[in-house]
Chains A and B, each alone.
Chain A
């Protein structure tokens, strides 16, 4: 093992609005750096190969898996996790959409999905057309079958729905006896 893995060096970056310095080996994944002191446990390992999105963070506003970001890449970067987005309008809109549609079950993957959606909404506000389905194509959920996520995206987060709850509701259909 070389020094990338062993010798600790200070790295300074912005985490949820605060400047932080951590002394870690340069090859430490951001995933471990955020979790191991118990500070940002919403960033969760699912595969450690960048496939599942459970460890997503926003790096300079872009959703990225924290398992693939190494400590040496961090200086000067702005990292956000859901712990720091309590007042962020895009996050609040995403949160409301997920709640309205019960788009989660166990919730382990949910912060990662939320960050992918926030990243998409931010990009859209900068004038880029963004398909939010594409934005979450790299996030895996094993519980829901994506039904609630689909409804959240289509009903509450589409470009024409400006607020969180204006997406209209599917009417509850009740039929007695014979089907139509």
Chain B
């Protein structure tokens, strides 16, 4: 792509691609026929499990007495740390979280014991009968001073720190005409998937334990679970079932360790399904960030210097915290903009405030909120239009990334900006006087695909012909509603010239191909790459079989609807091929490493980059300080759209999740207690809070681009928060830098301005 190719822009709607039929999967879901892991009540001999959580955020465990609980009606097993067959630790990056605490609890959700019983009521009654003596310890509640407090883990409360440097920031600041410095805070957002964490573990004498759960990486979970259960890797099977939302919150193990131990202990299948109260208390959250940013530019608005000092609160255990910190810092370098010199540093600390891990955006959107706010602050100081300031500083597609790594965009950033500038939302709304203050603002964001930084990041798939004569495509990815099955089906149909009903997609089985985790917006890229490798092999193998069966030369045969064709006429259906051909010869496997920059010895950051610009229009109520986002207009540059309804849904859904984080969502911690325990206090957006949205896709990738497909699961959340706070500033003159926006704080600031002026 050359930098002057503007690309083409399309406004997305939800029509099925190419006028095709809507996915049958949609009907199954609407009619309630899709079984979720927590729906599996028809499993024979199923027991119900429940987990005892700590009453204290930080305490020594003096005594755990389960003797009375064991004698209660219906109880089949009570397990504690003593019953963990293998390693009593888990964690994707650092295995520092106990399955059951041994001598110390570090947050209110820490697990101490678990019960399996005939009914959930019996299991809960038994939990209440477990006697636990605690000796409370002093709490670590303030992330910014955590390192000076009592250490929660060996090695202290600083889990990791990292700094990215470029040039000489001090010298560059000295040359700046304008410097702005502000503090920003982002909330402890909760995933709030509608299906809370859960699933079942089924013991199997011959094999070990079979898990049917909501999770994001069947293969990786199977490895961790084998270690916990002291089983060989081949004895643990994880079926990552279609689950009721994940967003990162099911990336780490949730109920699996306790369910697996109870299943082994009782010899029966065990279901554990956290209720919302327990999910709020024990489940993962988004890392709250406290960050000071100092940014300077010359008199013309050219960015010269940037300094970032951040603290991320990972809570009691690491989970994916170190990777979140890296992605936060990556985004804090302002990847879209040229900055001569920067020093971007962050610290990830342990506290007793719950536990934080992966969440859509993965630290990136927290950083973008602050970076984009800084740009607006500079524009204000210079009396320059914020869009003009961005235009001056945006990178071109030919430049390396902010960490000097090679990057690959799908459209010029300045073109994305131009589209945002042309949004109809900038025209003033009629009748905006009186009680309602209206304003429009925008922000931009960049986001990379893949795990990045040279981490192992491969993924594979398999294609075969089922006994019933359907084209079976297998990937290890989990389905949590992101339309990945539909995207795979659509891509396969396009190449084979067949119909959706010819294809069956099987996902998320740890005995199937390992595709790596369903995270980091990596699935779409890998699905596209792997299908491109294995479909030609498979088609060739099928044609060879068809040639043997029909006598036609293989080269004269072609794939088409329902089977194989010769001179436009179907000569064998897939069903006939499955019946009469050798099915074992009609299998193709492929895997590939996630695309990284070529010729890079020490990869940093991410090679495949996406962009979004979000324009927001808000109405602020002068009587209450409440903010209503009426419109969001997104311009995305994220490669080719494979399945339009899926793409649209990802951007819209992520944006409303970002809206929630901006306006209402927070899980405040006081003395180590998370203060919201259900969805009546923790407020996620409802139908009436959702704005009108429009998604325009800008795609400049040429036909022969090797990476035309990118993952958009996280892109929509990237720029929403700073776009909304910019719109609030346009409406009221007040810039909010602590999320979520408190109506009282905003109202006070509005009134203060009115008194002054």
Task: Report which A residues bind B (CB closer than 8 A).
Answer: 5, 35-38, 40-49, 51-52, 54, 81-83, 86, 95, 98-111, 114, 133, 136-151, 169-170, 172-180
Contact = CB atoms under 8 A, between A and B. Distances in A.
B565 to A, nearest CB: 31
- Secondary structure of the B contact surface, majority rule: loop
B35 interface: yes
B551 to A, nearest CB: 44
Nearest to B198: A45
B601 interface: no
B491 interface: no
B249 to A, nearest CB: 10
A148 B657 CA distance: 15
Interface in B648-684: 648-649, 652-657, 678-680, 684
Contact of B690 (A54, A81, A83, A147): A147
B254 to A, nearest CB: 16
Contacts of B454: none
A106 B193 contact: yes
A173 B481 CA distance: 27
B444 interface: no
A98 to B, nearest CB: 6
Given A142-B193, A169-B13, 15 more contacts: A45-B273, A46-B276, A48-B275, A49-B679, A99-B27, A101-B14, A107-B26, A111-B32, A137-B688, A145-B652, A145-B653, A147-B649, A147-B693, A150-B690, A170-B11
Given A38-B41, A106-B243, A179-B419, A174 B8 contact: yes
Interface in B253-278: 273, 275-276
10 contacts: A35-B39, A38-B40, A102-B14, A102-B648, A105-B245, A133-B687, A145-B690, A169-B13, A172-B13, A174-B10
A42 B192 CA distance: 19
Contacts of A36: 41
Contact of A82 (B31, B244, B684): B31
Nearest to A150: B690
A130 B40 CA distance: 36
B36 interface: yes
B690 A142 contact: no
A27 to B, nearest CB: 11
Query: Which bucket holds chain B's interface residue count?
Result: 35 or more
B194 A148 contact: no
A106 B481 contact: yes
Given A104-B481, A145-B693, A51 B26 contact: no
Contact of B653 (A5, A98, A105, A114): A105
Given A141-B194, A173-B10, A133 B245 contact: no
Contact of A51 (B10, B34, B679): B679
Contacts of A151: 14
Contacts of A101: 14, 645
A102 B651 CA distance: 13
Given A83-B32, A137-B686, A142-B684, A52 B194 contact: yes
Contacts of A149: 687
Interface in B306-348: none
B275 A45 contact: yes
A7 B30 CA distance: 36
A96 B583 CA distance: 38
B418 interface: yes
A41 B35 contact: yes
Contact of A142 (B121, B243, B655, B657): B657
Contacts of A82: 30-32
Contacts of A139: 687
B42 interface: yes
Contacts of B27: 95, 99
B733 interface: no
B588 to A, nearest CB: 30
B30 A114 contact: yes
A169 to B, nearest CB: 7
B394 to A, nearest CB: 17
Nearest to B46: A38
B6 interface: yes
B480 interface: yes
A-B CB proximity, top 4 nearest: A42-B32, A107-B29, A108-B244, A106-B481
Contacts of B26: 98-99, 102, 104, 107
A177 B6 contact: yes
B487 interface: no
Given A95-B30, A104-B26, A108-B245, A175 B688 contact: no
Nearest to B192: A142
A44 B679 contact: no
Given A51-B680, A142-B684, A178 B6 contact: yes
A100 to B, nearest CB: 7
Given A47-B679, A142-B245, A172-B13, A147 B30 contact: no
Contacts of B247: 142
Contacts of B121: 5
Nearest to A180: B422
A137 B687 contact: yes
Contact of A54 (B191, B194, B653): B194
Nearest to A105: B481
B242 interface: yes
